[in-house]
Amino acid sequence: MLDCLTAHGVSIPSSCHAGICQTCLMQAISGNIPATAQPGLKNTLVAQNYFLACSFHPQEDVQIRLPMTGLGKLSATVAEIDFLNTQIVRLKLALNTKFNYKAGQFINLFKDNATSRAYSLASVPGIDDQLQFHIRKLPDGLVSHWVHHDLKVGDNVDISDASGDCFYVPDMPDQKLLLIATGTGLAPLYGIVRDALFQGHSGTIKLYHGSNSPDLVYLSEELKSLALQFDHFNYTPCISGKTVPQGFAAGRAQEVAFKENQDLSGWRVFLCGHPKMVSTGKKLAFLAGASTGNIYADPFVLVPRSASKTISA
């Protein structure tokens, strides 16, 4: 595939030409991709028909694209907006057409044609009829401000197709799962936890959610009752600020999580939220024994007001 593209003047990024460096990663929209074209790819990439152009010898017609291009746009209707706490709203969108996504992926929500932001899906296909998002109001947030103040039930909004590699794949149902979120990083993990339970995951599932102060905690009661319902699901809300009420762990979520779980050999780890938490968390999880292929992450990068095109989650 890579040689064919190059021979026809289509230049895509590539490096080792030996199926190792994963620089020539592409995605099939239709057609079959043999496992030999997916050497060493993470299971979430395989699940989305990604392949390496240098290792792919097509036997039939396929439609392909570079990752993250050609995202379609579709229209949705606001079904519900409610406050989860003083700063975070839960937005529920209804769609007339079938929407393919995995819990934990993200979409772009369009305020208008020029302004969009990425938000993680907190809903789960098969459990929730509507798409669900947790949106925190940011001081300079063009889109979050619009969602909090202007958007009303019944409004039509545009969203993109879902994308992202941070989701649950049911290939090892007895594996232990560690999930760490800060702020609205809880949204994708709230989806992933419920998706894993829904798909019959039997291994221990431990969720740590970090907030600066008790008033920023959300969905706590619901997660507590989920933990009562499922013996193998464990939920620990953490407070990094000074006031720590009963029932909360004191400290940053990742500090508490890595202290309580020091040997992560064989574990699957999910990290979502503050970019710094995510990058140090990845390293700490790896050093604690988790293999790189078992670490899934979604850093929430904020968009400066001056930027027009960058994506944030």
Partner 1 sequence: MSSLYEKIGGEGAVNAAVDIFYRKVLKDDRIKHFFDGVDMAKQAAKQKAFLTVAFGGPNKYSGEDMRKGHAHLVKNGLNDSHFDAVMEHLGATLKELNVPADLIGQAAAVAESTRNDVLGK
Q: What does the binding site for partner 1 look like in residue numbers (CB under 8 A)?
A: 15-18, 20-22, 39-40, 42, 279, 282-283, 286-287, 291-292, 295
Name the minimum Å distance from CB 36 to partner 1.
Answer: 12
Closer Cβ to partner 1, 6 or 279, answer by number = 279
Give the sign of the dihedral formed by CA 238, CA 242, CA 243, CA 246: positive
Task: Tell me the one-letter amino acid at 298.
Answer: D
Contact 262, 288 (CB under 8 A): yes
Closer Cβ to partner 1, 162 or 285, answer by number = 285
Q: Where are the beta strands (DSSP E) in the chain?
A: 25-30, 50-52, 63-65, 73-83, 88-94, 106-112, 115-120, 131-136, 156-160, 177-182, 205-211, 233-239, 249-250, 268-273, 295-299
- Cβ neighbors of 245 (< 8 A, separation 6 or more) are 214, 239
The CA distance from 208 to 189, in Å, is 10
CA angle 166, 172, 176 (to 5 degrees): 75
The CA distance from 55 to 1, in Å, is 8
Closer Cβ to partner 1, 37 or 159, answer by number = 37
Closer Cβ to partner 1, 45 or 124, answer by number = 45
Name the minimum Å distance from CB 170 to partner 1.
Answer: 21
Name the minimum Å distance from CB 104 to partner 1.
Answer: 16
Closer Cβ to partner 1, 27 or 220, answer by number = 27
Name the minimum Å distance from CB 231 to partner 1.
Answer: 31
Name the minimum Å distance from CB 21 to partner 1.
Answer: 5
